Structure 1
């Protein structure tokens, strides 16, 4: 299933490490800035995810300055493994949601993989980055079938700034 720009993003009501739910974040509402950033990561076993989420955690203020008011990292991981992600990766400022189900992952258009080595969950989502507009629709996305090849955070920030400064619409819905 492919999520098309301008379509309403699927519901995302998941628990957050430390309490609360993704509903509390008001993703896709324009609260705190026009855009929301939802980053789907593979899990505790992924060193590339660790690097990506650590950078996002450090650059929350840069994201806000660019117009991204809400940010969340999401995976199919358990509470225990997600808590380890937050603690071991030092993600004090980045909300981390866990427990994404297979059907929900597919509704976002994520690719799924089965474990091929020790330390990987039996089934997990591959990476995806989604920018939601203030009306809850998909503005921009990038998904991958492998852990590598993700857009840089600088490119995401530059793209969001450009879209706002030039009233650039969501593309790819034709």
Structure 2
């Protein structure tokens, strides 16, 4: 029942986000470099990864989002394929480490998941948006409290997005869609590695 209610919220929110314009980094552009701490307490720096591997960067909204969990689980199933193709997967979220732990429980993700403190990385990539007040109230009615989940009151979420970045730092593939149901898939990502 809760999943049905959460899905209803997402369908309602779709009309609010359907008017978003493309503002993310595009194919052929230099990817913004970032540094953040993952769930293991390790500092992950994109420029260090790119010295040896390509980088797959995935932005997701939170452990409360069934579409995010399904997508992250799908990507976990293909981590070995990405590694064979010379790439490393990193997920980025506004969630605190406590919420990231819930994501890991739900998805079995073993790749690095970074808490994007103050939405800095989301802003660099142009995927950030503030949840409208009306939807903030609806989310809370269904037990989704972004202030608790994200550890701040700014109500910022990412548009779910995926970037494949070559070792030269240039973006080779982008999947960015304000419709939260549309996500990248491993087959498409692998084509660009």
Q: Distance in 2 between matches of 1:85 and 1:23?
A: 22
Larger radius of gyration: 2
* Other-structure match for 1:48: 67
* Other-structure match for 2:25: 3
In structure 2, stretches of 5+ residues that fail to align are: 1-22, 147-154
Q: Distance in 1 between matches of 2:69 and 2:47?
A: 22
From 58, 83, 90, the equivalent of 1:39 is: 58
1:55-106 CA distances to partner (integer Å, 9 max, x unpaired)?
11121111122x2421101111112111221233222x21111124334312
From 85, 108, 124, the equivalent of 1:90 is: 108
Aligned residues: 155
Q: Distance in 1 between matches of 2:105 and 2:164?
A: 26
Q: What is the Cα deviation at residue 108 of structure 1?
A: 0.3
Q: Distance in 1 between matches of 2:178 and 2:91?
A: 18
1:13 and 1:23 in contact (8 A); partners too = yes
Stretch of structure 1 that moved more, 97-106 or 141-150: 97-106
Change (3 A) 1:25 1:16: farther
Tell me which protein shows more helix as a share of its residues. Answer: 2
RMSD: 2.1
Matched, 1:16 2:38: yes
Change (3 A) 1:97 1:149: same
Stretch of structure 1 that moved more, 127-136 or 68-77: 68-77
TM-score normalised by L of structure 2: 0.71
Q: What is the Cα deviation at residue 20 of structure 1?
A: 0.5
SS in 2 for 1:37: strand
Q: What is the Cα deviation at residue 113 of structure 1?
A: 4.2
Q: Distance in 1 between matches of 2:66 and 2:37?
A: 23
1:40 and 1:126 in contact (8 A); partners too = yes
In structure 1, stretches of 5+ residues that fail to align are: 162-174
